[in-house]
Amino acid sequence: MEIKAIILAAGSGTRMASYSNSSPKSLLEFKGEALLSRQLRSFAEAGIKEFIIVGGYLIDQMNSFIEMCSYDIKLIYNPFYAQMNSMGSLWFAREYLEGDVFITNGDTFFEKAIFLKLLNNNNEYVFGVDESKKHDADYRVILSDDDVLDMGKDIAENDTMAEYIGIALIRKNGIKLFRDLLEKTVKNGNYNLWWEDLFLELMAKGKKISYVNVTGNSWFEVDEIKDYRKYQRFFN
């Protein structure tokens, strides 16, 4: 079965309102090319051919973008994007949680080498982390020699060992449990969580969350206007 990528891109990007008022954040251009286009190209260069994109905000623009793409993309609409967090968006793509699946967000860029590093790890659940970003990390992780011990935005800086870079690979032997936890979480009304919170549930069940250190490889996330301006200089 082919490896697929689920890309969550439904949000309105309220922290970037002056730019995202007229465009989904993932379609903002970096040197003339949409951020989402750059992400898809990196995935494709790593051999990923099937994509599921969950859209919501300004869905017509997302649909127009996809119609112009040459990739195999299935667009799913989350009509409740304003009331849900990424957990709810992932729930709309739950039927595609089978086989080996990458999951990430549409406001990120990764170079091809990052995908290849994750693919070289055969464990059930694999995170990408960057140990060079621990002092200014947003989503923080605590690590052992080969797995994630704790994760979240509220981990103290002194305890932080790396930043989670916003992408995970779930292998087919772990996907059913992951999907079952997702469905249970949303059924219980907890659709306002981050989708990564499911990994805390998996750790509570004794599951190992492996990680790959991508320090030195190129990646970034666009959360705020300063990020958008800063990373314009990233590309030629």
Is the separation of the CB atoms in 108 and 219 below 8 Å?
yes
Query: Could you tell me where the DSSP H helices lie in 154-213?
Result: 172-187, 197-204
pLDDT band at 12 (very low <50, low <70, confident <90, very high): confident
Q: State which amino acid sits at residue 81.
A: Y
Q: What is the pLDDT of residue 63?
A: 97
Residue 199's Cα: distance from chain center in Å? 13
Please tell me the pTM assigned to this model.
0.95
Is the separation of the CB atoms in 203 and 127 below 8 Å?
no
| Residue 128: closest CA among 113, 136, 118 | 118
pLDDT tens for each residue of 53-71: 999 999 999 999 999 999 9
Query: 99, exposed or middle or buried, with CB in 10 Å at 0-12, 13-18, 19+?
Result: middle
Q: What is the pLDDT of residue 18?
A: 61
pLDDT tens for each residue of 168-214: 999 999 999 999 999 999 999 999 999 999 999 999 999 999 999 99
Average pLDDT, the chain: 94
Using H for helix, E for strand and C for coil, what is the string for 18-85? HHHCCCCHHHCEECCEEHHHHHHHHHHHCCCCEEEEEEECEHHHHHHHHHCCCCEEEEEECCCCCCCC
Strand partners, 125: 170
pLDDT tens for each residue of 69-111: 999 999 999 999 999 999 999 999 999 999 999 999 999 999 9
Q: State which amino acid sits at residue 90.
A: L
Ordered structural domains, the chain, with CATH: 4-232 (3.90.550.10)
> Helix crossing, 35-45 with 112-119: angle to 10°?
50
Mean pLDDT of 37-50: 97
Is the separation of the CB atoms in 126 and 211 below 8 Å?
yes
Q: What is the pLDDT of residue 225?
A: 87
Is the separation of the CB atoms in 4 and 101 below 8 Å?
yes
Mean pLDDT of 2-7: 95
